[in-house]
């Protein structure tokens, strides 16, 4: 049985090798969060386009501040958005605001805090400045034509601002991946229906859709399939119209766990059908009709964990980006642990971010169906298969919940 790291690597390898050419198109910049540029983004002009003052104060010749206090004649006032076209000569200063262009002749800005006015037209400077101080020279952030963002780098809030800076009102991006989400099971009913005594509401459609959206892809909900081959086959074919199919439930060894058999009948090839983890062991990954297919176990927490470990890197690759690393961190364990050997355990945990470092404790939960327990957790303790026993106070790896970061 593969370890979760091997299974994740396997997904990455297979998707890289088998994925087809991705479509491209344009999106408006204000809709581009989370999308992946399909071509390099370049600077349309030098950045900054002029020597920019980064303080409110006086633009002077630095050499004039060698002897203190120094007095200057104020010859201009420069607001952001305007300019002074004269030249500052020795003994002269221009009152200047943050974001305004530093005039010719001046080579430094004295902060207003280190000056005091003598009259309307004269100012005294109390501190020396060095050449270049409080000025960002033209083109020092970027040169016109320079590549600022390579294709494949996902657009976050910082990148949105950068794209705005270079005037990219429309961005050429890779097409957003559509991910079919298909719940299976006779007992599963939609959330807006009243459950019979032995029925349960479909929670995986919701959590999986959210995980798909967080990964930057678009969920496509397929009506839940009963544990019956013909219906399941029909729904799977419906799901295969999307770019990726994610099923939940029906992948264990029970008599009515039909997902693998039905996928097989539809010509699927499988790469693995078990991973050495708990929760989430019976996770399936295969390829069917040219699309990657994930059969995730139905227990809600298993579904969540296996999606994070195995599906997210596939969605990154398919959307044109490199797989994002898992949000793993290290935390001090506040209780001892004694788990079963042989499987890596992902125990829902609460991680406290203290000044002294992160501390983690498992939350009370009753196994992979326990959503009430799960809701107390902001991550998981990762208890490795070969190291089941841990003492209080040891540093242990934690997997953070991406949605709460
Ligand atoms: P399965 O993987 O089909 O054996 O299901 C394992 C457990 O997860 C069973 O208790 C199911 O009732 C439950 N389960 C399966 N699918 C869902 C779903 N979509 N929403 C909530 N619970 C589910
Ligand atoms: Mg089932």
DSSP string over 121-133: SEEEE-S---TTT
pLDDT confidence of residue 310: 98
CA angle 17, 21, 24 (to 5 degrees): 140
Please tell me the distance between residue 215's alpha carbon and the centre of ligand 1 in angstroms. Answer: 23
Quick one: pLDDT at residue 68?
Answer: 94
The yes-or-no verdict on residue 301 having pLDDT over 90 is: yes
Compute, in angstroms, the gap from residue 235 CA to the centroid of ligand 2: 15
Tokens representing residue 170 in the block: 């429309």
Q: Is the pLDDT of residue 377 over 90?
A: yes
What is the pLDDT averaged over residues 372-394? 97
Q: What percent of the chain has pLDDT over 90?
A: 99
Q: Whose CA is nearest to atom 8 of ligand 1?
A: 299
What is the predicted pLDDT for the residue at 295?
98
- Give the pLDDT mean for 370-397: 97
Q: Label residue 111 by pLDDT band (50, 70, 90).
A: very high
pLDDT at 272 over 90: yes
Residue 114 banded pLDDT, cuts 50, 70, 90 = very high
Which DSSP category does 259 fall into? H
SS3 at position 109 = strand
Q: Is 242 exposed, middle or buried (0-12, 13-18, 19+ CB in 10 A)?
A: buried
Its pTM stands at 0.94
CA distance 232 to 79: 68
Query: Look-up: residue for tokens 């370049």?
Result: 42
pLDDT surpassing 90 at residue 119: yes
How many Cβ atoms are within 10 Å of 296's Cβ, its own excluded?
27
User: What is the reported pLDDT for 21?
Assistant: 85
pLDDT in tens, 329-366: 999 999 999 999 999 999 999 999 999 999 999 999 99
Kindly state the average pLDDT of the residues 23-40: 96
Q: What is the mean pLDDT of residues 185-207?
A: 98
Q: What is the pLDDT of residue 170?
A: 97
Q: Among 227, 235, 252, 299, which residue has the most ligand 1 atoms within 8 Å of its CB, making it the best to mutate?
A: 299
pLDDT at 22 over 90: no
Q: Chain-wide mean pLDDT for the chain?
A: 97
Beta carbons within 10 angstroms of residue 164's beta carbon: 12
Dihedral angle at the C-alpha atoms of 315, 321, 326, 327, nearest 10 degrees? -120
Across 398-402, average pLDDT:
97
Q: Cβ–Cβ contacts within 10 Å for residue 45, how many? A: 15
What residue owns the CA closest to ligand 1's atom 5?
298
State which of 182, 184, 185, 186 you would mutate to test the pocket of ligand 1, scoring each by most atoms of that ligand within 8 A of its C-beta.
185
């Amino acid at each position: 049985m593969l370890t979760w790291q091997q299974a994740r690597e396997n997904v990455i390898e297979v998707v890289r090798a088998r994925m087809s050419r991705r479509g491209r198109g344009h999106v408006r910049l204000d809709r581009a969060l989370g999308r992946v540029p399909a071509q390099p983004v370049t600077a349309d002009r030098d950045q900054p386009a002029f020597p920019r003052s980064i303080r409110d104060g006086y633009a002077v010749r630095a050499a004039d501040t060698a002897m203190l206090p120094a007095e200057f004649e104020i010859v201009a006032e420069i607001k952001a958005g305007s300019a002074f076209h004269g030249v500052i000569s020795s003994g002269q200063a221009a009152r200047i605001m943050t974001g305004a262009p530093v005039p010719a002749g001046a080579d430094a800005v004295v902060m207003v805090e280190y000056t005091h006015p003598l009259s309307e037209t004269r100012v005294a400077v109390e501190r020396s400045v060095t050449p270049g101080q409080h000025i960002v020279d033209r083109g020092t952030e970027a040169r016109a034509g320079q590549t600022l963002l390579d294709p494949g780098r996902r657009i976050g809030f910082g990148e949105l601002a950068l794209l705005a800076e270079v005037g990219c009102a429309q961005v050429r991006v890779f097409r957003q991946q559509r991910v079919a989400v298909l719940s299976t099971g006779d007992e599963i009913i939609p959330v807006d229906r009243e459950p019979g005594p032995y029925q349960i509401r479909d929670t995986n459609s919701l959590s999986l859709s959210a995980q798909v959206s967080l990964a930057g892809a678009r969920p496509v909900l397929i009506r839940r399939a009963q544990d019956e081959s013909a219906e399941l086959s029909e729904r799977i074919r419906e799901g295969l119209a999307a770019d990726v199919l994610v099923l939940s439930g029906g992948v264990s060894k029970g008599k009515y766990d039909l997902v693998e058999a039905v996928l097989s009948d539809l010509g699927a090839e499988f790469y693995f059908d078990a991973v050495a983890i708990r929760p989430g062991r019976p996770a399936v990954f295969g390829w069917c009709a040219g699309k990657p297919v994930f059969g995730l176990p139905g227990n809600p927490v298993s579904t969540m964990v296996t999606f994070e470990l195995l599906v997210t890197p596939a969605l990154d690759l398919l959307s044109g980006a490199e797989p994002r690393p898992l949000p793993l961190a290290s935390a001090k364990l506040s209780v001892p642990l004694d788990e079963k050997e042989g499987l890596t355990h992902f125990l829902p945990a609460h991680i406290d971010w203290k000044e002294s470092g992160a501390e983690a404790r498992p939350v009370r939960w009753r196994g992979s169906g326990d959503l009430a327990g799960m809701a107390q957790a902001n991550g998981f303790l990762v208890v490795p298969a070969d190291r089941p026993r841990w003492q209080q106070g040891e540093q242990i790896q934690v997997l953070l919940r991406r949605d709460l970061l």
